[in-house]
Amino acid sequence: MATVEERYQHLERTIRGYNISADFKKIREAFEYAEAHHGSQMRRDGTPYITHPLNVAQIVAEMRLDSESIQAALLHDCIEDTDSTYEDIAKRFGTTVADIVEGVTKLTRVHCTTMEEEQMENLRKMLFAMSRDIRVVLIKIADRLHNMRTMEYQTPEKQRKKAFETMEIYAPIAHRLGMQKVKWELEDLSLKYLDPVGYDEIIAALDAKSHEYTQFMDRIQGEIVNRLNELEISNTVYGRVKHPYSIYRKMYGQDKTFDQVYDLFAFRVLVNTVADCYNVLGAIHDLYKPVLGRFKDYIAMPKPNMYQSLHTTVIGDEGIPFEVQIRTFEMHAVAEYGVAAHWKYKQGIESDDKESSYEWIRKLLENQEDADAEDFIHSLKVDMFDDEVFVFTPRGDVTNLPAGATPIDFAYSIHSAIGNSMTGAKVNGRMVGFDYVLHNGDIVEILTSKSAKGPSRDWMNIAKSSEARSKIRQWFKKERRDENIANGRAAFESELKHAGIPMSAVVVPEILEKVLKPTSFNALDEMYAAIGYGGYTAQKAVHRFQVEIAAMQKAEKAAKAEAEKAARAAEKAQKPEPKRTRSEKGIIVEGLSNCLVKFAKCCTPVPGDEIIGFITRGYGVSVHRKDCPNASLEHQMEEPGRWITVSWGEDTNLSYSTALEVVCKDRNNLLVDISTAISVCKVGVANMNVRTTSDGFAIFYVTINVADKAQLDAVLTKLHNITDVIKVTRTAS
């Protein structure tokens, strides 16, 4: 086994191979610094820890990155695993190297814990967003590659977890950056741990046929080289069997056995010029029969990740199909090492100008029209234009918020009850103010209390997301009724004065009824409240009164003329008493007998609730709670004729189904505690669902059957007294 010094010498030789003017003094210093700081730490395979950073630096050198990247690769675990600090590294190696090391350290703390595709996409985006310098991502990929290569010494659980993460996060990133070789290796290594049986099966099949395959490939390679030499095209040709994961995907994706996989072989022809590429294509199609529809010209139309090549599939003498990829040496370097190689070609070797290192990304963005690349473009744009910020929940899930978002936005993005009961917030374990601006990669934890006073007015100015602001507005609408009424009344009265209408003209019962019909006695307050929270304007309200007052004055004149006639008619007619008829389900509908009744699903009223009826088009009267948003003043004003007074009958000895929402801090046994609390009240549960949020909260949706409001209130109290229950509300949406 090579000694540490031998490994270092190998690294230096690799760097000399592409960058003779690299800063070898600094690189040596970084190596010695890392070796000293990792000290006697060992890897699981029994080698000194320093072999890991050395190998990562080796991979980074094979990507042909600059001196600073090599130094950062050597130092990449120092902040995380030793007593070294950012400041110390900055002092010795400069802030660029220290920034890269710190960036890699942050990414090391990113783990994916979920299987959802959306989460994965967010995580990939976040990796980019966190890496203000693309070299951070490249070193992180090299780090992951070496860890995957040495994964056999880890526990099976860790193997699976890392393999999953690699397959979901790092291989796609390598692909997007155009690093085919790295991507393949990451995929194969992941597959080995994710499906060991499937992987072994393919390796065994490849081994069994390796002799046969080698003969076939040597023969084809010879034929191609001979023909190209005849044509005097200088070339490098080699063949390979496709990598195990790509065979695996074909087998499982198309439900085939190993022997049925169509194209196992690929040949690469590397030439000097683009013109030669097309000449080679002609020669290949002359030698072998091309398969229809398999020719792709990625030279004229490069892939979004800058990959360029000609692809064709042809069939040899034995009827064995194989793929041929034709490209220039430069295109090949980009295909192997992706943006890293491209970056080097375009940047020269010692560029440390951060701004211009973004230049190629901008170019890349402009050139991408492929819809498939949209996400990638977006992920880079996040970095470029800062319109989003990605933060972690304490469980390690990623949430995205608009840039400039605060803990308030984060809390309301989980649930309005979490925002409303928020008392404080921790970011990366430290208490912060509500106006703290979240950064990419922050771990955000929300502290809540049942006795929280609720949001304050200035939260509206602090919150960045419209979601949070609208939820805060909602809270004020509900919780600050008195304040809203006072504000609304003031606005209304001032507008009224402006219109020259005295208050005495408004509080005429007939007018009130016409304007507010068919609301209850405190209807005017409800209107004030609506004006107070901004759901209705004082101008609109005054206008309605104006119209009705004018109409009444007109009607009064007409009524006088008709008065006598009307009086006589009234004597004759036997005006029937408004009927109070018992209707079904314990509901009395004023003026209607035997009409169908149902309870609105949105608010599920129970006896004791103040209620109001709505004449539906198809099914009699639908009964809402008066405080249901669907029975709000606005709705009543829209269709005044269809709202009707209803009340509870005497004999409501039925059971009523009603829905509750219980917001809790998630923990074990919550379900048991909630069920127990309900059953102690002798109440039946009709239905219960739970949704857990990524921030460790659980929201239960419970439907129970109760006799009346008293019983329901008892249940609400019991539920609210359970530890970790933050809020219990009756559903009304």
Please state the closest distance from residue 379 (CB atom) to Mn ion, in A: 23
For residue 673, what are the CA distances in angstroms to 105, 669, 685? 42, 6, 13
Judged by phi (left if over 0) then psi (alpha if -120 to 50, else beta), residue 513 lies in: alpha
Please state the closest distance from residue 166 (CB atom) to Mn ion, in A: 14
Beta strands in 374-486 (DSSP E): 388-392, 398-402, 422-427, 430-432, 444-448
In the complex with Mn ion, the residue whose CB is nearer, 38 or 192, is 38
Please state the closest distance from residue 135 (CB atom) to Mn ion, in A: 15
* CA-closest candidate to residue 128, choices 356, 384, 404, 370: 384
In the complex with Mn ion, the residue whose CB is nearer, 56 or 270, is 56
Does 673 interact with Mn ion (rule: CB under 5 A)?
Answer: no
The interface mask with Mn ion, positions 366-385, x = CB under 5 A, is: --------------------
Question: What H or E segment, with its residue span, contains residue 509?
Answer: helix 509-516
DSSP symbols for 489-534: HHHHHHHHHHHT--HHHHS-HHHHHHHHTT--TTHHHHHHHHHHHT
Please state the closest distance from residue 77 (CB atom) to Mn ion, in A: 5
| Exposed e or buried b per residue across 274-291, where buried means at least 16 C-beta atoms within 10 angstroms of its C-beta | bebbbbbbebbeebbebb
Stretch that binds Mn ion, among 142-150, 247-255, 310-318, 686-694 (CB under 5 A): 142-150
For residue 646, give the 3-state DSSP assignment.
strand
In the complex with Mn ion, the residue whose CB is nearer, 74 or 468, is 74
Please state the closest distance from residue 143 (CB atom) to Mn ion, in A: 4
Token pair in block for residue 621: 């009267």
Q: Tell me the residue number closest to Mn ion, measured at CB.
A: 143
Q: Which of 12, 29, 81, 713 is catalytic?
A: 81
Please state the closest distance from residue 149 (CB atom) to Mn ion, in A: 12
At which residue do the structure tokens 């019909």 appear? Answer: 517
Token pair in block for residue 445: 């934890």
* CA-closest candidate to residue 337, choices 185, 182, 186: 182
Residue 391 and residue 410 in contact, taking contact as beta carbons nearer than 8 Å? yes
In the complex with Mn ion, the residue whose CB is nearer, 145 or 549, is 145
139: how many CB neighbours lie within 10 A of its CB?
29
Please state the closest distance from residue 108 (CB atom) to Mn ion, in A: 7
Stretch that binds Mn ion, among 90-98, 140-148, 290-298, 495-503 (CB under 5 A): 140-148
At a CB cut-off of 8 Å and minimum separation 6, what does 542 contact? 492, 495, 496, 498, 499, 501
Please state the closest distance from residue 80 (CB atom) to Mn ion, in A: 8
CA angle at residue 374 from 466 to 347, to 5 degrees?
A: 110
Give the separation between CA 414 and CA 162, rounded to whole angstroms.
Answer: 28
**How many residues in the shown chain lie near Mn ion by CB under 5 A?**
2
Q: Which of 80, 330, 467, 666 is catalytic?
A: 80
Judged by phi (left if over 0) then psi (alpha if -120 to 50, else beta), residue 583 lies in: beta
Token pair in block for residue 154: 């880890």
Give the separation between CA 548 and CA 509, rounded to whole angstroms.
Answer: 12
In the complex with Mn ion, the residue whose CB is nearer, 130 or 334, is 130
In the complex with Mn ion, the residue whose CB is nearer, 66 or 77, is 77
| Residue 648 main-chain phi, psi, to 5 deg | -80, 140
In the complex with Mn ion, the residue whose CB is nearer, 143 or 445, is 143
Q: How many residues does the chain have?
A: 733
Q: Quick one: CA torsion of 239, 245, 246, 249, rounded to 10 degrees?
A: 160
Give the separation between CA 431 and CA 408, rounded to whole angstroms.
Answer: 14
At which residue do the structure tokens 């997007």 appear? Answer: 176
Please state the closest distance from residue 161 (CB atom) to Mn ion, in A: 16
The interface mask with Mn ion, positions 94-133, x = CB under 5 A, is: ----------------------------------------
- Residues 292-351 interacting with Mn ion (rule: CB under 5 A): none
Find the binder of Mn ion among 143, 188, 276, 548 (CB under 5 A). Answer: 143
In the complex with Mn ion, the residue whose CB is nearer, 77 or 102, is 77
**Residue 639 falls in the annotated catalytic set:** no
In the complex with Mn ion, the residue whose CB is nearer, 77 or 133, is 77
Give the separation between CA 148 and CA 165, rounded to whole angstroms.
Answer: 11
Give the separation between CA 254 and CA 546, rounded to whole angstroms.
Answer: 73
Residue 14 and residue 142 in contact, taking contact as beta carbons nearer than 8 Å? no
Stretch that binds Mn ion, among 141-149, 260-268, 292-300, 594-602 (CB under 5 A): 141-149
Give the separation between CA 533 and CA 559, rounded to whole angstroms.
Answer: 39
In the complex with Mn ion, the residue whose CB is nearer, 77 or 99, is 77
In the complex with Mn ion, the residue whose CB is nearer, 143 or 388, is 143
Please state the closest distance from residue 76 (CB atom) to Mn ion, in A: 6
**Residue 200 falls in the annotated catalytic set:** no
Please state the closest distance from residue 137 (CB atom) to Mn ion, in A: 14
For residue 625, what are the CA distances in angstroms to 36, 190, 408, 601, 642? 72, 57, 31, 10, 15
The interface mask with Mn ion, positions 41-80, x = CB under 5 A, is: ------------------------------------x---
Token pair in block for residue 559: 């009524």
Q: Which residues participate in catalysis according to the annotation?
A: 80-81
Binding site for Mn ion (CB under 5 A): 77, 143
